[in-house]
């Protein structure tokens, strides 16, 4: 039993050394209770704070009441009351938060659909520890692009702003404009799709071996 405590302590220390943002508040939504139970354990293993919801209505209620300020949402694509793409749209309109899609489908068409709806990543079931370990990067990336866009807005004439970061701020502004302008129109222009793809760290997590 002493050995298990030691292992647990080592894991927590490793977590700190690996710079996980401990306590990342994740809302996970899936009508599959088995998947949700495993996902919750994975999230806790990464020292995140998971909250689970089994349908879209409950999830949106939790997000809107703001009793807990979530950092990130993981949602299954297929659910009986509302699909994950619609949830992503609503989250994009009402609150600025990264949304990761989750599905058994790994077909390119479905994944691209996820991208077009503004998902910041797409995980194919079964989800592995490494998939979950890296989700904090989406939160960090969003915070940075928001900070840069604030900077570039405030310093519009400042020539010292790096061209790379300016491009990123333009991307995030365009992305926000697209989200607010598109209502039920699910089609994105090619350029905004490209921007969204660029926002994915080149790390699409889906597996195509199936």
Partner 1 sequence: MDYANLRRQAASLKRSLFDQGYLDEQFCQVEDLQDEASPNFAEEVVSLFFKDSARLVTNIEQAMEKYPKDFNRWDAHMQQLRGSCFSIGASKMNNECTSFRNSCREENAEGCRRSFQKVKREHAVLRQKLESYFQLLRQAGPARTTAVRSGGK
Could you tell me if 106 and 206 are in contact, meaning their C-beta atoms sit under 8 angstroms apart? yes
Let me know how long the chain is. 210
Closer residue to partner 1, CB minimum distance, 35 or 204: 35
Q: Build a one-symbol-per-residue string for 68-97: x at contacts with partner 1 by CB under 8 A, - elsewhere.
A: --------x-x-------------------
Contact call for residues 123 and 201 (beta carbons, < 8 A): no
Binding status of residue 5 toward partner 1 by CB under 8 A: yes
52 Cβ contact list (under 8 Å, min separation 6): 27, 28, 29, 30, 36, 39, 40
- Please report how close the Cβ of residue 210 comes to partner 1 at its closest, in angstroms: 9
| Tokens 């990342």 sit on residue | 24
Which residues in 11-70 contact partner 1 (CB under 8 A)? 31-35, 37-38, 41-42, 45
Nearest to partner 1 of 31, 140 (CB atom): 31
- From first CA to last CA, the distance across the chain in angstroms is 40
What is the binding site for partner 1 (CB under 8 A)?
A: 1, 4-5, 8, 31-35, 37-38, 41-42, 45, 76, 78, 104, 125-126, 128-129
């Amino acid at each position: 039993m002493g050995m298990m405590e030691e292992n647990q302590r080592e894991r927590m220390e490793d977590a700190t050394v690996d710079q996980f943002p401990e306590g990342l508040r994740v809302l996970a939504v899936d009508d599959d209770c088995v998947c949700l139970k495993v996902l919750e354990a994975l999230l806790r293993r990464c020292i995140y704070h998971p909250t689970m919801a089994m349908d879209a209505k409950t999830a949106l209620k939790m997000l809107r009441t703001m009793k807990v300020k979530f950092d990130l949402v993981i949602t299954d694509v297929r659910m009986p009351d509302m699909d994950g793409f619609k949830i992503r749209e609503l989250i994009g309109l009402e609150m600025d938060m990264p949304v990761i899609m989750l599905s058994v489908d790994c077909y390119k068409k479905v994944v691209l659909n996820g991208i077009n709806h503004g998902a910041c990543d797409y995980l194919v079931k079964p989800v592995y520890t490494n998939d979950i370990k890296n989700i904090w990067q989406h939160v960090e990336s969003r915070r940075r692009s928001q900070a840069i866009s604030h900077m570039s807005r405030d310093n519009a004439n400042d020539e010292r702003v790096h061209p790379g970061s300016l491009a990123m701020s333009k991307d995030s502004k365009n992305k926000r404009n697209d989200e607010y302008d598109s209502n039920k129109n699910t089609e994105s222009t090619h350029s905004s799709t490209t921007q969204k793809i660029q926002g994915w760290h080149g790390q699409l997590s889906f597996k195509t071996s199936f």
